[in-house]
Amino acid sequence: MPADRTAEITSRTPQETEQIGSFLGSMLAKGDIIALSGELGTGKTTLVRGMARGIGLEEGEVASPSFTLVNEYAGGGPLARGPLRLFHIDLYRLEDEKELLGIDYEEYIKGEGVVVIEWADRIPRAVPRDALWITLRYLGAECRQIVLQAQGDRYKAMIEELQRKVYTEFSL
């Protein structure tokens, strides 16, 4: 399905990737869906850590895929924006779509909080129609390409806002 909007942002350091994640995090609201893909070591966890920071959650909690299918990053100090929750679902080890039933996947997707679906490209059908797809690509030792694809007006606007922020804050 063609995206409603795409953008590519080049990150030159892990800190930049985290900052981009944080910009995104500050725009997120309950019910938002981020479908995240990228080869090993491209910075997926770094990006999600930034998102947690942008939401106002404890970024230290954010880790790479564990053996659980879903992690919730709770906490949230004085900066936390209300009761916004962040669920990190990891499809890497999923062998069968039916396993999603076992984690009440539908309940998360229905909007309990922000949902990041890592390795979403493994089971694209599991991702709702409206979502922000993010793919990380390795360009060089510290260089990554962040490809954003919006499905739906909300994420289209989010990409535009993110681009504005990156242009002004990184003075590219």
Ligand X SMILES: Nc1ncnc2c1ncn2[C@@H]1O[C@H](COP(=O)(O)OP(=O)(O)OP(=O)(O)O)[C@@H](O)[C@H]1O
> By CB neighbour count within 10 A (0-12 exposed, 13-18 middle, 19+ buried), where does 82 fall?
exposed
**Does 40 engage in binding with ligand X (CB under 6 A)?**
yes
Pairwise CA distance, residues 93 & 96, whole Å: 9
Candidate residues 45, 71, 149, 151; the one interacting with Mg ion per rule CB under 5 A: 45
Please say which residue, 38 or 54, places its beta carbon nearer to ligand X: 38
User: Pick from Mg ion, ligand X, none: which does 1 bind, CB < 5 to 8 A by kind?
Assistant: none
> By CB neighbour count within 10 A (0-12 exposed, 13-18 middle, 19+ buried), where does 30 fall?
middle
**Does 71 engage in binding with Mg ion (CB under 5 A)?**
no
> Given CA atoms 40, 43, 46, 48 in this order, what sign does their dihedral have?
negative
Smallest gap from Cβ 5 to Mg ion, in A, equals 26
Chain residues binding ligand X by CB under 6 A are 11, 13-14, 16-17, 38, 40-46, 64-65, 142, 144
